[in-house]
Amino acid sequence: MTRISYTEVSHTAKRRVTCTVCGKKFNRQRTFTNTINPFNKAESGVPKTFDEVKADVILLAQQWQPESDCGKHEDQS
């Protein structure tokens, strides 16, 4: 069995969020990843370059909106 490893491209996004329930401020962090591989193609059908994959990952990170609940409250319903 042959194992193929592709180059991984990652970007970490950090956000400072205020809880909608108690007003406490806290941090959220998430790492977005993708790989450079022959199946990750641009619209033209050509495999994406490192810069294109990095741009896609950064765009995902910029669009990310974390939860605004700190998770320390009982269900308010």
The tokens of 37 are what? 């591989």
Q: Which residues pair with 13 in a beta bridge?
A: 30
Could you list the pLDDT tens digit for every one of the 77 residues in the chain?
899 999 999 999 999 999 888 888 999 999 999 999 999 999 999 999 999 999 999 999 999 999 888 877 776 55
Amino acid letter at 73? H
Which secondary-structure segment (H or E) carries 28? Answer: strand 25-36
Give strand pairing partners of 17: 26
Question: pTM (2 decimals)?
Answer: 0.79
Distance CA 8, CA 38 (A): 13
For residue 52 the two structure tokens come to 């294109």
